[in-house]
Amino acid sequence: MNMGFLLLKIALFIALVPGVLISIPADQPFKVQAVVHGLIFAVLIYFLWTYLREGFSNPDTRINPKCPQGYEQNKNGDCFLKSATPQEFL
C-alpha cells in the first residue's frame, strides 16, 4: 500500500463517518446509517483508486512490441531478420 492510497482512505473515512458531514438516510438508526456509509465508502474507494491508479501509472515497459513482418524476435526481445542470426553481427 502506498501513501496516496492511505491518505485517500483516511480522508474518505473521516468524511463518511455518519454525522460528520452528512447522515444518509437522515431519520434512520445509527446502525443503518453506518451500513449505508460503509457501502458508499467501499464503492468510492474502488472507483477512485481504480481511476487514480490507471490515470497516473506508467505503462508496462517489459512487454516487447511485435517485430515487423520478415523479422524474428529472440528471447531478449530484439528483432532481427529471419535470414540473419544475431551471432553474425558480433
**Which residues, 6+ apart, have CB-to-CB distance to 78 below 8 Å?**
86
49 and 67 belong to one structural domain: no
Total number of domains in the chain: 2
The pTM score is 0.55
User: Which residues span the domain enclosing 42?
Assistant: 3-56
pLDDT in tens, 65-77: 678 888 888 877 7
Phi, psi of 67 (to 5 degrees): -80, 150
As a whole number of Å, the end-to-end CA separation of the chain is 45
The separation between CA 11 and the C-alpha centre of its own chain, rounded to angstroms, equals 19
pLDDT of 23-54, one tens digit each?
888 889 999 999 999 999 999 999 888 887 76
Please tell me whether residues 45 and 11 are part of one structural domain.
yes
Q: What percent of the chain has pLDDT over 70?
A: 77
Judgement on whether residues 69 and 42 belong to the same structural domain of the protein: no
For cell 551471432, name the residue: 87
Q: Are residues 52 and 67 in the same domain?
A: no
Residue with cell 535470414: 83
